[in-house]
Chains A and B, each alone.
Chain A
Amino acid sequence: MTKSILICGVGGQGILLSSDILAEVCMNSGYDMKKSEVHGMAQRGGSVISHVRYGEKVHSPLIGEGGADIILSYEKLEALRNLSYIEKNGTVIVNDMAILPIPVASGEVEYPQDVIDKIKKHASNLVVIDGLGIAKSTGNIRTLNVVLLGVLARHIELAYENWLAVIEERVPKKTIEVNKLAFESGYRSK
């Protein structure tokens, strides 16, 4: 059975690094896997989506609408934007954080007030995470990425040690300990 995970957020939030880590964990766990994203114009502060799929044999690098088992969104508006990807019994994990798009920041349009409620209406399983709060509690706010991967890890069946091994390899040496703590905090968060 192929598992499809869509990671989304805003350019600059580290989506591509996170999906790289996830992909490597899948590979080290012995799965076939594919991941797809776009570079160039799409990365300048715009919406970013990364598709990750793993299983016995993966064909399509893209998840179609209604095909994502999990959506992990680093920003709540982006979760709402990409809701059409979720499979009807899928899980939406949302970092409860708002980054204002330019049309909002410049006062042209408003950021919707009840984003989380709207997501709730369309997602049968919703996990809302104060990722920044958890990251702060580890002492390094820049571990947000790894905190959210910790939350994701709780919802997919890849071995905890495999995650730790890849994280250890991918983050700067000095920050290994704090990133391990961040991953664990995300994993154990309610």
Chain B
Amino acid sequence: MKAFLSGDEAVARGAYEAGINVASAYPGTPSTEILEAIAKYPEIYSTWSPNEKTAFDFCSGASFGGARVLVAMKHVGLNVCADSFFSMSYIGATGGFVVVSCDDPEMHSSQNEQDNRHYARAAKVPLLEPSSSQEAKDFVKIAVEISEKFDTPVLLRLTTRISHSKGIVELGDRNEHTPKGYVKDFKKRVILPANARVRHRVVENRLKELKDFSENFEFNKIEDIDTSVGVITSGVSYNYTKEVFPTASILKLAMSYPFPSELCRRFAKRCKKVYVIEENDPFIEENLKIEGIKCTGKEKIPLVGELNPTKVAVSFGLQKAKKKTTFKIPPRPPVLCPGCPHTGVFYTINKLKLVATGDIGCYTLGGLPPLNAMDSCVCMGASIGNAFGLEKALGSEIKDRLVAVIGDSTFFHTGIPPLIDVVYNKGKTTVLILDNRTTAMTGHQEHPGTGKTLMGEKTVALDLVDVCKGIGVKHTYTIDPYDLAETKRVISREVKRNAPSVIISKRECILLSKKKRKPLKVDEETCTGCKLCLRLGCPAISLQEEKAIVDETLCTGCTLCAQVCPKDAIG
């Protein structure tokens, strides 16, 4: 049977067919759809975990018991669980262990362009790179085999254009796997220095065996055609190579670590010249150059951004770069939705001229004009520590105009330890938790505060006030961000407080809200065209012929513009 699947959906199907028993993740573009699709298979126990490290450790435990496991994340998620990842390389995999990293060349929805192939080398684990949905599915099964055969986690690396491209996939049946059960193995699983020293030798030996495997791996495939040009490539870049060099000989590396250097040497010998076509870092290229194999790569191909057939063709002089049209085209940046509960908070932060250390989510958009209400955004969970550091460094100079802004899902992810830091180290930081009752940016996934699990079961909904009080925050306040007066009153009061305080701005994401409110209208006579309402950055309001107008097909009736209007012209 055939199906039309994205790379992410194909990984999920691969997990099903490979007999994966347990899977976990924290949502992150472009990896989110893997667990969403896995959740449709009741044979696999699947969870949304508070963060990538908890997901990883959960899967490690299941693997201790002999279960086959898969943990998925976006590239930066592997940073969050790197500690566990490196240790599990030493400990190995009792039940097959697949770690899926979805990198985001071009940073379509990410803060950096890190190339996680480096992690395979750093942690000494094998790396597989699928180049299509079909391979994404097949390679999960191969990863499980390699993992169990060599007693190691396996890194499966996708990129955005594999994760979010759909293609036709041939489906197979599930190979059911029953976990063997728990067997104690102190020397393997307790990595005390004495044990770890032994394990490190095991890992180095394992790498040698894996290198032999990689040299003969059937999916490290040579397509021999015309040997005047030979291209070594992997992942999505293979597809661009096929378009641009249809007659060249190609060595496609499905397993690019441990690096099959002898295979590459043999291939390079019969080609007149060798090109390396890969996205982002020169991973293959450097490995070739270490081996003394001559090749041309990043001196021609861009290091920054994703590739496409045209970019590859232009890099090698096969096509002229198309001139960019010179029209002035207004940009169309992403925006907070009409009726977004974050809008009122950012409008207030802007009005109060606060310094706001921010975090990762839809609300990062509050930093864009016209709201301009975010001063930093580093990575998941950084906002609170950043504010605390600023406060300790500059003291009263900044304390009374400083706030950390973090979403509910992000707070559960990595916001709690820094809040403990504030309380423990006698900080006075003000934290604003934007509680929209979901993980919105990645498409509305459940989290520990929503009362539901990935598999649709009802569960306890952690209460943010209780959590903060439990940590030792004495001052917690819940506000409705649709009430601008209250929002302003509480925020301006709390930033001045000489103690840690948490304000929870609580209102459901507008895209999930079932409540229908009447769209608002602008009274043309009363409107003076003062443009104050435009400062909300609401996509439903625009200025036409010097008067504000509300697009009633977009307006959700949140009334923020009516509250902002000094002439009461909107209602």
Contact = CB atoms under 8 A, between A and B. Distances in A.
A41 to B, nearest CB: 4
A106 B30 contact: no
Interface in B520-538: 531, 534-535, 537
A21 to B, nearest CB: 11
B168 A64 contact: no
A103 B32 CA distance: 31
Interface string B173-212: 0000000000000000000000000000000000000000
B300 interface: no
Contacts of A80: 325, 327, 329
B330 A104 contact: yes
B391 to A, nearest CB: 30
Nearest to B338: A45
Contact of A34 (B167, B325, B334, B442): B167
Q: Interface residues of B toward A: which range?
A: 35 or more
Interface in A82-121: 83-84, 100-112, 118
B337 interface: yes
A106 B543 contact: yes
Q: Interface residues of A toward B: which range?
A: 35 or more
A50 B239 CA distance: 17
B125 interface: no
A46 B333 contact: yes
Interface in A28-51: 32-47
A40 B442 contact: yes
Contact of A45 (B238, B334, B442): B334
Interface string B28-39: 011011000000
A138 to B, nearest CB: 17
A27 B2 CA distance: 10
Contacts of B324: 84
A36 B310 CA distance: 16
Contacts of A35: 165-166
A11 to B, nearest CB: 7
B4 A27 contact: yes
B29 A60 contact: no
A23 B166 contact: yes
A108 B4 CA distance: 43
Nearest to A107: B543
A23 B313 contact: no
A108 B369 contact: yes
Contact of B369 (A81, A84, A103): A103
Q: Which 3 A-B pairs have the closest CB atoms?
A: A64-B310, A40-B109, A40-B29
16 contacts: A39-B30, A39-B109, A39-B164, A40-B30, A41-B109, A41-B334, A46-B332, A62-B240, A63-B309, A101-B330, A102-B537, A105-B534, A105-B539, A106-B370, A106-B534, A112-B327
